[in-house]
Copies of this chain bind each other. A is one copy, B any other.
Amino acid sequence: MAVLLARHLRYDFERPAHPANDRFVLSKGHASPLLYAAYKAAGAINETELMTFRRLGSRLEGHPTPRRLPWVETATGSLGQGLPVGVGIALSGKRLDRVGYRVWVLCGDSELAEGSIWEAAEHAAYEHLDNLTAIVDVNRLGQRGPTRHGHDLDAYARRFQAFGWHTIEVDGHDVDAVDRAYGEALSTVGQPTVILARTLKGKGVEAAQDREGLHGKPLKDADEAIEELGGVHDVRVEVQPPPAARMLHAVRTGHLDLPRYELGDQVATRDAFGQALAALGTARGDIVALDGEVSDSTRSEYFAKEHPDRFFECYIAEQQLVAAAVGLAARGWVPYVSTFAAFLTRAHDFVRMASISGSGINLIGSHAGVAIGQDGPSQMGLEDLAMFRALHDSTVLYPCDANQAAKLVAAMAGCEGIRYLRTSRGASPVLYGPNEDFPIGGSKVLRVSAQDRLTLVAAGATVHEALTAADQLAADGIPVQVIDLYSVKPVDRRTLREAAEHTGCLITVEDHREEGGLGDAILDAFLDGRPMPRLVRLAVRSMPGSASPAEQLHAAGIDAEAIAASAKLLVEHAVVR
């Protein structure tokens, strides 16, 4: 770190947004004292602030986050994430920004066991990211004890070489060797470099050096340790600023010409997503798209065809897919990430950490629910709404028709934090005209009368089932209200409360597990201590097999027939007025 700061990093601490700044990522986020000490040495923070480490209100958290510190690129602390995000930043530098900054990532040796590191290694080498240098602190000790490979630097070198990296092995305590290694990394062309640095944890302090059982524990005698290390030093490092600012080329913004669909046409929301994203990419030069080797299914292929320079094929590696997006977002791009809803669970920890970063990424999960049909449960996103709703400050959207999907694809770019849009595989009729507006946090009342006995609340695929059920029920003399709750988070509290006051009973219908989805989401409207409506929930309760989409909806008890039957039961048993 000392050699990097003093001799190689190009960074202006007073202008962290400087486009030509190098980028440093502390992948081993638990080494935050090292990072903060470096900030202190560089003059970015003072000693008083340094001593607030891990205290209430301090910017110097146990693990660094960009929410609080302007020099931090991404939140770390869950291991194996810094390098993947660093790859995303390096991709931005190489393919989009075209500014000569370098990305430096400090990794631990323990975290090399994470598969995400190898997804990142593969991605970086394949994209020839010679602007990326990983430094691995091979101190041979994890939290609990020795790592698998101890100080066997060759074991790591073999792996990185096989994945296409240039490797350098050094004594991490030999500053000249480290300096030469950085120089070699800087002069390596066409491939990323990893510097494998053999180190001793707690080097120079007899009570700690290379000893087990001390991870994360304060030294017993800090004064003695300071003395062993040669006494108190007020270390200052002059960090070189980047070369004269070469600003990013101005990002173009033009008229947004969203696709328009005719009422009654049969269109899948995944198609509308793909077409809307392509249009958004035409209107806005800062939009980028990433897909996990299923762009022909998610339909991000429409974007890829029109804007190949801003499309990133990430292959079947969902952790790296999301991490690359976080890296691109850190450089100011607006990423749209798409894969099957089911496979976004693979990247749950990455989305969680992105949320801690405050990263503004858009995620699109296609093929959601039992409505996909024959492919069976492994491909059905049945837990995605629960996963995304539980993230801090997230936005969760689930359109039921093509015009709605297109509008929401554009609107989500303007939200803060993690935004999730759920799309469907099968075609469904267009319900709304192309000029209809769909504000985030809104809903649409599709059926309403003064005589409504209860309210059906649906979203996405189940909206069409609810409408069919409502028409059948009306024909049978049981008028019901129907709400299209396309904004699952935040929910439209006012409309839900009005429906509750109007009808006294809400039936939620969702193509999702009963926990964490629509049925739970509407609770948000009723948590002010005021009286609650009666609630009934229709959701996926069993384990689906293979069957046609219609058979699946029927088996799960969320088709029009099941909805109408539930409503009738409530009316007949006088549960509703």
Interface residues, chain A, with chain B CB atoms under 8 Å away: 29, 54-58, 60-63, 65, 67-68, 75-80, 110-111, 113-119, 122, 126, 142-144, 147-148, 158-159, 161-163, 213, 293-297, 301, 313, 315-320, 342-343, 345-346, 348-349, 352-353, 356, 358, 374-379, 382-383, 386-387, 389-393, 489, 505, 513, 515-517, 519-521, 523, 526-537, 542-543, 545-548, 551, 555, 570, 573, 575-576
The answer to whether B117 and A115 touch across the interface, beta carbons within 8 angstroms, is yes
What are 17 A-B contacts defined by CB distance under 8 Å?
A: A29-B378, A56-B548, A65-B376, A110-B315, A110-B316, A114-B318, A115-B118, A115-B319, A143-B294, A387-B387, A392-B542, A489-B515, A515-B516, A519-B527, A529-B570, A531-B534, A532-B535
Q: Measured between alpha carbons, how far is A374 from B63 in the docked complex, in Å?
A: 9
The answer to whether B546 and A535 touch across the interface, beta carbons within 8 angstroms, is no
The answer to whether B547 and A56 touch across the interface, beta carbons within 8 angstroms, is yes
Contact residue among B67, B313, B515, B546 (Cβ-Cβ distance under 8 Å from A58)? B546
- A56 contact set on B, CB distance < 8 A: 545-548, 551, 555
- A546 contact set on B, CB distance < 8 A: 54-56, 58, 60-62
- A531 contact set on B, CB distance < 8 A: 532, 534
The answer to whether A529 and B505 touch across the interface, beta carbons within 8 angstroms, is yes
Q: Measured between alpha carbons, how far is A419 from B116 in the docked complex, in Å?
A: 26
Contact residue among B110, B162, B390 (Cβ-Cβ distance under 8 Å from A516)? B390
Q: Measured between alpha carbons, how far is A142 from B293 in the docked complex, in Å?
A: 7
- Leading 3 A-B pairs by shortest Cβ distance: A115-B115, A77-B378, A532-B532
- A374 contact set on B, CB distance < 8 A: 54, 62
Contact residue among B115, B317, B543 (Cβ-Cβ distance under 8 Å from A317)? B115
Q: Measured between alpha carbons, how far is A61 from B163 in the docked complex, in Å?
A: 36
Identify the interface centre among A392, A489, A527, A530: most chain B CB within 10 Å of its CB. Answer: A392
- Chain B residue at minimum C-beta to C-beta distance from A508: B527
- A63 contact set on B, CB distance < 8 A: 375-376, 378-379
- A126 contact set on B, CB distance < 8 A: 148
- A542 contact set on B, CB distance < 8 A: 392
- A65 contact set on B, CB distance < 8 A: 376-378
Q: Measured between alpha carbons, how far is A537 from B524 in the docked complex, in Å?
A: 9
Shortest CB-to-CB span from A194 to chain B, Å, is: 13
- A68 contact set on B, CB distance < 8 A: 545
Contact residue among B61, B505, B519 (Cβ-Cβ distance under 8 Å from A376)? B61
A315 in contact with B352 given A158-B162, A390-B387 (CB within 8 Å): no
A67 in contact with B378 given A315-B147, A389-B386 (CB within 8 Å): no
Identify the interface centre among A318, A515, A548: most chain B CB within 10 Å of its CB. Answer: A515
Q: Measured between alpha carbons, how far is A56 from B548 in the docked complex, in Å?
A: 7
The answer to whether A296 and B143 touch across the interface, beta carbons within 8 angstroms, is yes
Contact residue among B356, B378, B382, B386 (Cβ-Cβ distance under 8 Å from A76)? B378
Given contacts A78-B346, A158-B161, A515-B521, 7 further A-B contacts (CB under 8 A): A143-B296, A342-B352, A386-B386, A386-B515, A392-B543, A520-B523, A527-B535
Shortest CB-to-CB span from A182 to chain B, Å, is: 25
- A58 contact set on B, CB distance < 8 A: 545-546
- Chain B residue at minimum C-beta to C-beta distance from A295: B144
The answer to whether B356 and A345 touch across the interface, beta carbons within 8 angstroms, is no
The answer to whether B390 and A293 touch across the interface, beta carbons within 8 angstroms, is no
Q: Measured between alpha carbons, how far is A144 from B314 in the docked complex, in Å?
A: 12
Q: Measured between alpha carbons, how far is A126 from B148 in the docked complex, in Å?
A: 8
Q: Measured between alpha carbons, how far is A67 from B162 in the docked complex, in Å?
A: 39
Contact residue among B29, B75, B348 (Cβ-Cβ distance under 8 Å from A346)? B348
Q: Measured between alpha carbons, how far is A237 from B146 in the docked complex, in Å?
A: 49
